Amino acid sequence: MALALLDRPDLDFLCTLAPDDRTRFVGLIRDIILATDVTTTVPRTKEFGALVGEGGTPSTYQVVEMIIKAADISNPTRPLAVYERWVTGVMAEFFAQGDAEREKGLPISMLCDRDTVVLAKAQVGFISFLVGPLFMALHSYAPALQPLVDQLEANKKYYADSAPPA
């Protein structure tokens, strides 16, 4: 959508760039948007964390990629009341997808079956396996992210404490 909007002359704020610069910038936008693909989060987080942990310096692109990934899944780092509103909306979307899949006789996607998903456990898993490691890797590079990490841990504890026993 961002690139489609740039194709409109009235919205093309890149119109003053030289053609090569415009092409490079549009490519960067495309790459950064694609960086939000959740299937790449775990491997990129491990690479970034290992690099920083070994004293290496990530490239500007690696930092930007991690920041955009973090922004994309940052809701668990927000105050609980805000995070809960996002959880409600996201789960409604997931359940609507699962309902549509069920209606069409398709396999129901992960976290989309309203009859089996336990919301609290789903959030603990989301934080434990995706959001937490990503923010911890970023935190190792940028310690000023500590307040977000603290909120993330508090939200994880809230959902862990409210999950039914296994």
What distance in Å separates the CA atoms of residue 131 and residue 66, rounded to the nearest whole number?
11
Calculate the CA 66 to chain-centre distance.
Answer: 9
pLDDT surpasses 80 at 166: no
- Residue 35: the pLDDT is 84
Contacts for 49 with CB less than 8 Å, ≥ 6 apart:
133, 136, 137, 140
For 3-51, what is each residue's pLDDT tens digit?
888 889 899 888 888 989 989 988 988 888 888 888 899 999 999 999 9
pTM: 0.84
pLDDT digits (tens, 9 = 90+) for 77-125: 999 999 999 999 999 999 999 999 999 999 999 999 999 999 999 999 9
- Sequence-ordered list of residues with C-beta below 8 angstroms from that of 70, at least 6 positions apart, any chain: 134, 135, 138
Instruction: Give the model's pLDDT for residue 31.
Output: 87
* Confidence (pLDDT) at 12: 87
pLDDT (tens digit, 9 = 90+) per residue, 130-154? 999 999 999 999 999 999 999 999 9
Domains defined along the chain, listed by start: 18-162 (1.10.1300.10)
User: What does the pLDDT read at residue 34?
Assistant: 85
